[in-house]
Structure 1
């Protein structure tokens, strides 16, 4: 687990500024506090920050091939590197280390850009081939490891593990992308490949990027996608056995390390399954850690303790108090762009707790997307049944009218919040799902933005993100389609981003065995009817886990990893919310309609409505402007100057 950075002169062999490269590399010190090196040759500079996990003694980077013509900087783990190394040695390649990084340079020599198809793991890397004058970047299939890049006006191409390293380059134009802002206030994050800045991008999961000197066009290429080639018939008992076997094998390969290792244990199905598999493989007790909350409505610690007791783990718990909101500004500095998942707060704390005892942890992330665990999938399928009965031409006017007439009921259980259901049924399948996952609805965003900002959007709408991915989806099954959409958006843009930044802030490596691509490919062949059955998400997974976990763990209601925002904003954060959202920072952007900001704050704090999610989204945007934008100097949004 590391941080990588690079500068490449696409136009010639102009000298790379070593001090600039070192500043960019140093911006990611937290990702790799053990060592840091840079390498420079005419027209190219590479930097690396190292967190030593494998081959601690000799795995320094940048790392070269035998004659020094190929060099790589790499972040992640290649779990099948020993098998690949043997194969490459048999083909005549010579290895000087025992680390997975060296496999990359020899795999490039052997297979070129197809080398990525041989790697099993989580990775982001930049590789320079001097003989071909080619820079090659690649990101793992599910987007576990991040990779940012930008082509600057001076012809330099820059890349890094985090956006902050690119921001550190003075030539980056800090002009915000209006479409990214629209996306943020719909999703709560900025989906790939956009970033908050027009000039910078994320390399999407399952893509590589190949640039040769003199080439000025940047065109990422897809090398992998979730296949979702479902079998029509699958024996349930055989599927259960296969699922456990494949999960155990995935967990096993994720255990390789030369440093202390443990696991996150929330008490949910996914993390509990990972711990159960680890306990059956490891010869010593598993180190587990979890967060508890003072508010019982958000506290899962008793379930985590049950699993810890069953498997005799070395379990450690830390309580997050109800007023643990001092991290707000720190989160803005961690994520570099607006990021509105409030569970980033406890995620930061559980990573902090884990790092006190281990350097590597396994997590259960990815199970909900893989195996249809989210409650929203169940509601979407209910709505799909109704959509299949009545055409959109009839549904749109009927349910649109009902949605407008029905009162808002944030306080009620989902089954009684008919307004949201009516509004969703008035839309097609993709737009309906977008409506269900949006932090702020289309109507709310319409009121949120000023007319001048809406003009800057040129009719762009955040739903376009889902529509584009829906067109790429390899299956027509409605459940598989929304799983695919989440894998392309929510999983990578929110879940994996949250965990990567929170863990790397503490120099902690997090591995996700449920997102091993071979496991993901196999699960995608399981019929949707075995993933969501009789209203039970993860049906096949839970049945397979019954010998390993109690019904109390498997079949209780999902709690999530939430914090009590609504109470905070009416209590200890009451004044801070007012000062931030109605203060000068947001006003000076020219983006927001102040009257609507005042309405949301007043209605929430009076108890009339629950606007906690939109207010948190605004609070994090304000913190981004104040800490990242103003913290870096003068910032430009179109023609407006923000001092």
Structure 2
């Protein structure tokens, strides 16, 4: 997990920007940071904050290679096929850092499109070519790694891993000019012309990947090794998705709610860690209020797997104390996202403060991919269910993806999500659409059946019914959303509610809770 940041086309002293904007993403990379002004490009300033995961010695950015001195790269990502590509294309790597493959690919092909198509992993990056006078921005297919842009009508461009890295720049330095802060679209790259006067001009935006397509990069699992046994193929591909994500020089652990998705990932992680002889025991982490069902289920799974298990118990006071910090960290006022983020935020804080685990695996993406939400039971047809699954995957970066990234990165952790592996998702999405529907009211029946009789997790966990994360962590006495509604009611007085609501004519908040978040 790292953070990238840059301002192009702004003429005044860039040091001011760093003080009020770049510093706001330091939590993404506490190990090191660097600001760089490029003398070859007028009015260009880029910054990088680093959480060291791979190649702690030579992996610092901005990265400029001896072989390609005209290229400057900053990237927040993990690219799992960098060794395979290096061998196939005979790259002479100058570091052991996986993201170097971006510069090597672009330097060899001269094409940003060919470069991004061959990346197996998660990423957001900026690449500057001072010879062609181009700036390229790109983001991974599911938007697992975040990227924002500040766009203006005056030739100024800003980009950052989080919106808080740009918002104060827009407010303080655009002097009333028009500017917009937007999320950069997943599956896309953009090309900007770097003009002689120091301004920036958008040249092209292109989507390089369609969800469900077979990836263009060399596949981790040879398709010839798969067969007509769908259940075996699912096990093979999900196992491979976890295995490739073991790439790290820091300790790896897992979030464990006791639900199907996190339990499967935890079980595969423990199994593979033994096979590759990781020099430590896998730590698992669960959270809940006193009598929450998640704590009970996670405890059973941890015992079954033999992990070094950590439980975090939180209270209503803890929710009240952290709520404002959660909203700032998330950068959204979406009610469901905020509710689901409380537990993950508190748990991430614990992991960061109390353990040496830095890389975290979790089960995000399974519900969107495998029709795991309860309402899929009521889909009018297989086709409509499949369409809804695609919609959720396309938008995951706005909701569960954003929640998972911000709550972990906010505490300097790196999250990895095997269910969103491109080869795995492509295989699942191209199965006959009727195979993914709930069966007899049981969601993700296909996934459950694939791992039946493997002994990886207890049967009652394998077939445990779906619960929303915010429900699973709450106590039996009071739900989390009731607690949050009570907090909001205390903080917004009834006589001021109507006045406050008038401030938000766009998507007007209808409830006290939604008004408080806004």
The Cα of 1:39 is off from its aligned counterpart by 1.3
The Cα of 1:581 is off from its aligned counterpart by 6.8
1:80 aligns with 2:71: no
Matches within 5 A, 1:162-181: 162-169=162-169, 170-172=172-174
The Cα of 1:152 is off from its aligned counterpart by 2.3
Matches of 1:315 and 1:174, distance apart in 2: 52
1:487 aligns with 2:393: yes
Match of 2:314 among 308, 311, 320: 320
The answer on whether the counterparts of 2:125 and 2:137 sit within 8 Å (CA) in structure 1 is: yes
Match of 1:617 among 496, 499, 514: 514
* Partner in structure 2 of residue 608 of structure 1: none
Match of 2:181 among 184, 200, 204: 200
Q: Aligned with 2:241: secondary structure?
A: helix
1:50 aligns with 2:50: yes
Q: 1:133 to 1:479 in 2, by over 3 A?
A: same
Q: Aligned with 1:325: secondary structure?
A: helix
The Cα of 1:535 is off from its aligned counterpart by 2.9
Q: 1:552 to 1:174 in 2, by over 3 A?
A: farther
| Structure number, greater radius of gyration | 1
The answer on whether the counterparts of 1:343 and 1:561 sit within 8 Å (CA) in structure 2 is: yes
Give a deviation string over 1:416-470, Cα, whole Å, max 9, x none: xxxxxxxxxxxxxxxxxxxxxxxxxxxxxxxxxxxxxxxxxxxxxxxxxxxxxxx
Q: Aligned with 1:106: secondary structure?
A: helix
* Partner in structure 1 of residue 293 of structure 2: 299
Give a deviation string over 1:308-337, Cα, whole Å, max 9, x none: 111100000001213422222112321334
Match of 2:483 among 542, 564, 568: 568
Q: 1:518 to 1:376 in 2, by over 3 A?
A: same
* Partner in structure 1 of residue 218 of structure 2: none
1:36 aligns with 2:33: yes
Match of 1:266 among 254, 257, 260: 257
* Partner in structure 2 of residue 399 of structure 1: none
Give a deviation string over 1:550-607, Cα, whole Å, max 9, x none: 33112222122115245326756542244597175444456698xxx8xx7xxxxxxx
The answer on whether the counterparts of 1:370 and 1:524 sit within 8 Å (CA) in structure 2 is: yes
1:210 aligns with 2:210: no
1:109 aligns with 2:110: no
Matches within 5 A, 1:337-348: 337-340=332-335, 341=337, 342-348=339-345
The answer on whether the counterparts of 2:348 and 2:407 sit within 8 Å (CA) in structure 1 is: yes
1:132 aligns with 2:132: yes
Q: Aligned with 2:364: secondary structure?
A: coil
1:544 aligns with 2:441: no
Q: Aligned with 1:334: secondary structure?
A: helix
Q: 1:59 to 1:484 in 2, by over 3 A?
A: same
TM-score by length of 2: 0.85
1:251 aligns with 2:242: yes
Q: Aligned with 1:510: secondary structure?
A: strand
The answer on whether the counterparts of 2:320 and 2:487 sit within 8 Å (CA) in structure 1 is: no
1:534 aligns with 2:449: no
* Partner in structure 1 of residue 286 of structure 2: 290
Higher helix share: 1
Matches of 1:105 and 1:580, distance apart in 2: 58
Matches of 1:256 and 1:517, distance apart in 2: 17
1:278 aligns with 2:274: no
Matches of 2:22 and 2:136, distance apart in 1: 19
* Partner in structure 1 of residue 462 of structure 2: 554
Q: Aligned with 2:363: secondary structure?
A: coil
Matches of 1:579 and 1:68, distance apart in 2: 62
Q: Aligned with 2:105: secondary structure?
A: helix
Q: Aligned with 1:216: secondary structure?
A: strand
* Partner in structure 2 of residue 361 of structure 1: 360
Matches of 1:174 and 1:31, distance apart in 2: 30
**Which of structure 1's runs of 4+ aligned residues deviate more than 6 A?**
none
Give a deviation string over 1:271-327, Cα, whole Å, max 9, x none: 100011112111253210010222x4x531111111111110000000121342222
Q: 1:375 to 1:60 in 2, by over 3 A?
A: same
**What is the CA RMSD across the aligned residues, in angstroms?**
2.6
The Cα of 1:267 is off from its aligned counterpart by 0.5
Matches of 2:287 and 2:272, distance apart in 1: 25
Give a deviation string over 1:533-554, Cα, whole Å, max 9, x none: 3332211110111222233112
Report the more deviating stretch, 240-249 or 333-342: 333-342
Matches of 2:73 and 2:294, distance apart in 1: 43
The Cα of 1:18 is off from its aligned counterpart by 3.3
Matches of 1:212 and 1:244, distance apart in 2: 46
Matches of 1:23 and 1:328, distance apart in 2: 24
1:223 aligns with 2:120: no
Matches of 2:93 and 2:486, distance apart in 1: 61
Q: Aligned with 1:144: secondary structure?
A: coil
Alignment gaps of 5+ in structure 1: 176-196, 230-234, 386-475, 601-613, 622-643
The Cα of 1:173 is off from its aligned counterpart by 7.8
Matches of 2:429 and 2:127, distance apart in 1: 31
The Cα of 1:228 is off from its aligned counterpart by 6.8
1:19 aligns with 2:13: no
Matches of 1:240 and 1:75, distance apart in 2: 34
Matches of 1:580 and 1:206, distance apart in 2: 46
Matches within 5 A, 1:387-466: none
Q: Aligned with 2:321: secondary structure?
A: coil
Give a deviation string over 1:317-358, Cα, whole Å, max 9, x none: 001213422222112321334332211111101211222321
The answer on whether the counterparts of 2:151 and 2:179 sit within 8 Å (CA) in structure 1 is: no
Matches of 1:123 and 1:592, distance apart in 2: 31
1:505 aligns with 2:413: no
The answer on whether the counterparts of 1:61 and 1:73 sit within 8 Å (CA) in structure 2 is: yes
* Partner in structure 1 of residue 419 of structure 2: 514
Alignment gaps of 5+ in structure 2: 215-225, 275-279
Q: 1:481 to 1:570 in 2, by over 3 A?
A: closer
Matches of 1:129 and 1:276, distance apart in 2: 44
Give a deviation string over 1:180-239, Cα, whole Å, max 9, x none: xxxxxxxxxxxxxxxxx971221111111111124634642100111279xxxxx99811
